[in-house]
Amino acid sequence: MLNQIPLVRRVRGAYYGWWVLASTFILGTLSGGIFSNSSGIFFGPIQRDLGLNSAQTSLIFSLVRAEGSIAGPIVGRLVDKFGSRPMIIFGGILASFGFIALHWVHNYVLFIVIFVGVVGIGKSAGLGQVLVSAVNRWFIRRRSLAMSICITGFSSGGAAILPLITLGVSTVGWRDVMLYSGIFMGLIVIPLASLVRYSPEHMGIGPDLPFPKEGDSDSQPPVVDFTVRQALRTKSYWILFTGSVLRISLWGTISLHSVEMFVWKGMSHEMAGLMFSLMFLLSIPLRLLVGVLGDKFPLPPMMGAGMASAALAALAMLLIDGNLAVYLFVALMAIEQGTSTLNWVSLGNFFGRTSFASLMGLISVAFNIGMLITPIYAGLMFDRTGSYTVVLVSFLPIYFAAGAFFLMTRKPEAPVMPGQRFTEGRAYLTQVPQQAAESLDRLGPPDASKGQPDGGLVD
């Protein structure tokens, strides 16, 4: 018992940001497994149950992305103003209620209304970018590691929960799985959200950036926070914006159609579902590794490498037949997912904490539109050709373009704050008398014969 006392004291005295990270990690795990990454598992059963084609089924999940493009900036602004906790509670309960309600829905239009208007709004409001924004407010020095751990939660949900959902769908059916998942999420979201506080400053503590020692003020880099307007004026934001939108837009199709794509290659639905969850499992250690490396090394090469890996995954599905194509695709897309965290690490590193959620929300407007379009496009192509070949071929140049944008990302120059301008102006004014005196010295003594007592200076 005595040996446990130091550990207890260390846990109680730990930086509170780690408690925020633990809460968002668990919430991300549940959200990723139940709401976000389960679409590929539910796709086939819902299609067969409601008698839909591939494009109609894609529309259900794609409209959620369209809703997210509208909600993104609004949610970002609310998070920056009020904090993450109320948004997590509201969104988590709303999404859970929607999943419960879908258990009894048999009409296609009503299914879309509830899935988009209740589940989608709830997930966007409290269980997506809000979790990442909460972590960004609490970490500076260890931002890359902390955000990687947080986003790894979404992959962990895919790895740990999707096999259970796959098993549940094949035994009790997708309706009961949605019912039980919604009840469980509704019960656990409030206790977890209660651990999320607004910021370290609101708790009277500093973020995880040690204060410099006296006489050593240059030992730490200055903490810089851009306003939204200042960030939008930088080229760096728009380069990162473009690369992120291209990458995530394609992920909308991969996340929704992967299981059906594996079936197209000859796998059973059950095996395809397990391979889909394996993709998330394999991405977990890489996300953590990238999180550690991201605090020490440049991010653009790692982000570019992730896009190259995604392009190779598409090539594997195009050029190789059978299960080997699926195995290579899963391994290579796991690398892409492992590096995807660095999108948001870069955003936080470049522009700081205070406007992070708003800036992330603006990016989400564009990529959610992309995630609306690309899955419907993939569904239409499959309905017409019975193949994903055209889809994969068209994705190749987009992956390479995204990689090129990521390689061009650079940290912008710090903005000049109003107080900084005042300080610089005051420093300039204090230099004027000294400069005037130096000018007088250079002019020499006054020449009284010319009636100019000030050496040529007149009033």
- Written in H, E and C, the secondary structure of 32-71 is HHHHHCCHHHHHHHHHHHHCCCHHHHHHHHHHHHHHHHHH
What CA–CA distance (Å, rounded) separates 302 from 60? 34
pLDDT at 4: 47
Residue 82 forms part of a structural domain = yes
Q: Is the pTM of this model over 0.85?
A: no
Site of tokens 């880099």: 221
Residue 255 forms part of a structural domain = yes
pLDDT at 212: 52
Domain CATH for 111: 1.20.1250.20
Three-state SS at 277: helix
Which two tokens mark 254? 């991969």
pLDDT at 372: 81
Q: Name every residue whose Cβ is closer than 8 Å to that of residue 180 and which is 6 or more positions away in sequence.
A: 168
pLDDT at 430: 44
Residue 129 forms part of a structural domain = yes
CA angle 377/382/386 to nearest 5° reads: 165
Residue 436 forms part of a structural domain = no
pLDDT at 1: 41
Residue 422 forms part of a structural domain = no
**Nearest residue to 137 via CA among 352, 304, 291:** 352
pLDDT at 418: 54
Per-residue pLDDT of the chain (459 residues; tens, 9 = 90+): 444 444 444 556 678 889 999 999 999 999 888 888 788 889 889 999 999 988 888 888 878 777 766 777 788 788 878 888 999 999 999 999 999 999 999 999 999 999 988 998 898 888 888 898 888 888 887 888 888 888 888 878 877 888 889 889 989 999 999 999 999 999 999 999 999 988 888 887 777 765 455 555 445 556 678 998 999 999 999 999 999 999 999 998 888 889 889 999 999 888 988 898 888 888 888 888 888 888 788 889 999 999 999 999 999 999 998 899 999 999 999 999 889 888 888 998 899 888 888 888 888 888 888 888 888 899 899 999 999 999 999 999 999 999 999 999 998 988 766 554 444 444 434 444 444 444 434 445 545 444 443 433 333
pLDDT at 209: 63
Total domains, the chain: 1
Which two tokens mark 344? 């948001």
What CA–CA distance (Å, rounded) separates 18 from 250? 32
Residue 81 structural domain: 16-200+225-415
Residue 424 forms part of a structural domain = no
What CA–CA distance (Å, rounded) separates 204 from 52? 55
Mean of the per-residue pLDDT values of the chain: 82
Three-state SS at 312: helix
Q: Name every residue whose Cβ is closer than 8 Å to that of residue 269 and which is 6 or more positions away in sequence.
A: 44, 170, 259, 263
Residue 1 forms part of a structural domain = no
Which two tokens mark 451? 């009636």
Residue 425 forms part of a structural domain = no
pLDDT at 421: 45
Tens-digit pLDDT profile for residues 245-297: 999 999 988 888 898 899 999 998 889 888 988 888 888 888 888 888 887 88
**Nearest residue to 249 via CA among 343, 333, 374, 128:** 374
What CA–CA distance (Å, rounded) separates 452 from 446? 7
